Copies of this chain bind each other. A is one copy, B any other.
Amino acid sequence: MMLIAASSWGQQSLWNTTTEDSPQINSDNSVTFRMLAPKANSVQVTGDFQTVKSTDMVKDEKGVWSYTTPPLSSELYNYNFMIDSVKVCDPSNVYQIRDVSSVMNLFIVGGGQADWYKVKDVSHGTVSKVWYDSPTLGFKRRMTVYTPAGYEYNKNKKYPVFYLLHGMGGDENAWMDLGRTSQILDNMIAQGKVVPMIVVMPNGNVVQDAAPGESNKGLIQPNMYLPKTMDGTMETSFPDIVKYVESHYRTVADKSHRAIAGLSMGGFHSQTISKLYPNLFDYVGLFSAAIGMEDKKTSSPAYADPDGKLKVQFEHAPKVYWIAIGKDDFLYNQNANYRKTLDENGYHYAYYESDGGHIWRNWRVYLTKFLPLLFK
């Protein structure tokens, strides 16, 4: 009787579901993808688990297309299927992430680095989508705030704050969805490798109040290229964010308890914000930073006298000034030149060089390397 009821329930409230086991992570860490598509002419799988652009899947007698990878190293991977050359998500895998205007499936191969990206049986922080007031920009804006496990219980404890900035085309959701920030923080705090901290992930596009779909612009197509991303406005409006955070959360409001880092455009913002306000941050992280990519036509005070600003910043140098980039990153040379400038002036920094290019896989790794350095 429950079965009959459940079946009626299904007919009314649900679409029929697909039941292929895909992706199936095998005991040797190879991964099998499957899709039922008897009428398709061709099916491929594309994704960052392989170096080729796509791999043909093979159809069996039931019309199930499949492909098994070689054993994969531990990582969070993304993929799509191509049905008759149309890129789609795997209908059997509900786990998806959006990168700008692309939606991709994800899976995690554990047993190494990607164990930081898993939800584990540890205490979890709270993740909030908060609207703060930006008097400088003249409107309210959305940001993501992670408060560590215990924040709600330890009502007299004050916490350091880490401001974590996204790249071009990203928004206040990017570090959570693509960067696995809350999982990394939960897991590294639980293991005692990272001190409990508040992580603030603002929206770095000053023309947006919120991520696509979360603002009154409606369900728009996300756009990689927005105006005013690197014209100094993010930098000059940044104190609005700090002011909101320090008046609404229990923070230790001094330089030695503030950190800022970001990827690509957000790495550039971290560089420029930390030197525009040299007394604000004792920890600075530049992840594949888009150094020197600012709008050269701007007259923003944020970009005036860069050498003088850098000198002032390093007169009371940050405790950690950390630069990371991949060997294949198209911004490698800009970062090498910037390191040369720091070297020539005797400004101390730490450097981490990885394989690979301008990709989220690297930014997740950089986050796990940078976090243990903070507030110690």
Contact = CB atoms under 8 A, between A and B. Distances in A.
Nearest to A247: B152
30 contacts: A9-B264, A9-B330, A12-B357, A12-B359, A13-B167, A13-B264, A13-B360, A15-B99, A15-B102, A15-B104, A16-B87, A17-B102, A35-B86, A37-B86, A39-B41, A39-B42, A40-B83, A40-B84, A83-B83, A88-B89, A93-B219, A94-B221, A96-B103, A107-B219, A108-B219, A119-B210, A120-B216, A124-B131, A125-B131, A126-B128
Given A5-B330, A12-B330, A41-B39, A94 B103 contact: yes
Contacts of A142: 124
A101 B94 contact: yes
A225 B6 contact: yes
A92 B221 CA distance: 8
A138 interface: no
A373 interface: no
A102 B14 contact: yes
A13 B84 contact: no
A122 to B, nearest CB: 8
Nearest to A81: B88
Given A101-B17, A126-B128, A359-B12, A118 B218 contact: yes
A299 to B, nearest CB: 18
Contacts of A357: 12-13
A87 B80 contact: no
Interface in A1-57: 2, 5-6, 8-10, 12-18, 35-42, 46
Identical copies in the complex:
2
A188 to B, nearest CB: 16
Nearest to A17: B101
Name which of A80, A103, A168, A222 has the most chain B CB atoms within 10 A of its CB.
Answer: A103
Given A213-B119, A359-B13, A87 B219 contact: no
A293 interface: yes
Nearest to A36: B86
A198 to B, nearest CB: 13
A248 B128 CA distance: 15
A126 B130 contact: yes
Given A10-B224, A83-B83, A124-B142, 12 more contacts: A5-B330, A9-B264, A15-B87, A17-B101, A39-B84, A40-B84, A83-B84, A84-B84, A88-B88, A126-B128, A131-B149, A152-B248
Interface string A150-175: 00100000000000000111000000
A264 B95 CA distance: 25
A196 to B, nearest CB: 14
A349 to B, nearest CB: 24
A140 interface: yes
A106 interface: yes
A258 interface: no
A191 interface: no
* 7 residue pairs, one from A and one from B, having the closest CB atoms: A12-B358, A88-B88, A128-B128, A39-B84, A8-B330, A15-B102, A12-B357
